[in-house]
Structure 1
């Protein structure tokens, strides 16, 4: 494995984040703080507790997941789209670097940036609400798997998109609504029985539920099912990326 080439791509992507620090870190932290102010102050007075957890603490895992999903996709999609847009991708493809090494470098950088952002948001959340993490290793596992999975999904989006408009289409019109409807700010047990069953078709429900269980030991679905669905989505993304590189989809033309 060509570790030097992988490190070059990885460090170049991380350097791009340092150049856009305000956009990459400051903006999400401000957005998260506003969520706490709006939801914690406006709704928190009406909903004191959910499953024995204060409402402010209950929404922390959902907010972290919301930022993690959107920024994993955006970072990975932009990182592969720009080389395609400028033509620099052909230099990467002609270098002595395998497809696996290219994917690991780009996706690894996007996942690293998303994990750093999630850590910052968790620290920000502690300024607003007291919270505990009952299962820290499970929390790290769900964070890492989710960041890697949706960075892969973002990589697929960056290969699929042929314009800047399409680049933002999936995060804004699909992922963000699914995250809001996936139990970020409420428990699906609060929904009518029919909508509880409909909500189970939303894959984000399993991510948020498993992640919330790692904090408080309570979840909308079993942690085993959450982990299985996360790994299933990861496998699906890996298969799609493999097919894209094998066929040269949006890379060789």
Structure 2
């Protein structure tokens, strides 16, 4: 069994990162400005009129939710757009004929998309510091969970990019599915604040486990046990890997 073609992985990774820095206003600044507006409206205007939640000020409480909202959106869009462009331009056939296998292609594209998403996450954390003071109870867990989430949803975005056959389809799932689930997943409130029936319904929302896990890393409190959050994320990661492997094995949506 031969080793990884690191030159191929590096070439794909550098190409994708260079593309991001060529459009840095859209890739980096725009999501940070959007999140800053959330902090101004919800953290300052509304948060100043609300009490603490579990001993955490409302402005600080929504930081994990806003961070997850941006991380999911950026991870999916970065990865989906990255693999869709070669399909749209026809250069996907050059990639398929190059001496790289599906694992190396995945490492290059998903690695670059995850790097860009995590960079946005770091900028958002720095921006949040300008509006509200906060402390991170479990910094190692926070970093690990952010990386796990970014990689998982970059894989999901990669699948969307392979599936889409138009620029409009690239936006369908992020706009109509992921964003609403994030808003309904406890980004701005605790699930425990809901009536019992709606608490039960909320647990069918997969984003609840992501936001809850990140909030535990920040403040040591969560709506869901941290082990469940990590387990759900790892399960979704495994499903995405399986789908990508099947797509490259069959050539579905790539060679046709």
Structure 1 residues without counterparts, runs of 5 or longer: none
Equivalents in 2 of 1:127, 1:45: separation in Å?
Answer: 15
Structure 2 CA distance, aligned partners of 1:154 and 1:100? 16
Q: CA deviation at 1:246?
A: 1.0
Q: CA deviation at 1:46?
A: 3.0
- Shift of the alpha carbon at 1:42? 3.0
Provide, for residues 199-240 of structure 1, a one-character-per-residue CA deviation record: whole Å limited to 9, x for no partner: 000000001000010010000000010110010110111111
Measure the CA separation in 1 of the matches of 2:203 and 2:49.
26
Residue 82 (str. 1) matches residue 85 (str. 2): yes
Indicate the residue corresponding to 1:36 in structure 2.
39
Which shows bigger deviation, 106-115 or 44-53? 44-53
Structure 2 residue corresponding to 1:130, chosen from 133, 139, 145 = 133
SS of corresponding position for 1:53: coil
Structure 1: 4+ residue segments shifted above 3 A: none
Q: Establish whether residue 226 from structure 1 lines up as the match of residue 229 from structure 2.
A: yes
Q: CA RMSD in A?
A: 0.7
Provide TM-score, normalisation by structure 2: 0.98
Alignment of 1:111-130 (within 5 A): 111-130=114-133
Aligned positions of 1:177-192 closer than 5 A: 177-192=180-195
Matched residue SS, 1:4: helix
Could you tell me how far 1:45 is from its partner in structure 2?
Answer: 2.9
Other-structure match for 2:176 = 173
Return the offset for 1:41. 2.7
1:37 and 1:124 map into 2 onto residues whose CA distance is 11
**Structure 2 gap segments, 5+ residues each:** none
Secondary structure in 1 matching 2:252: coil
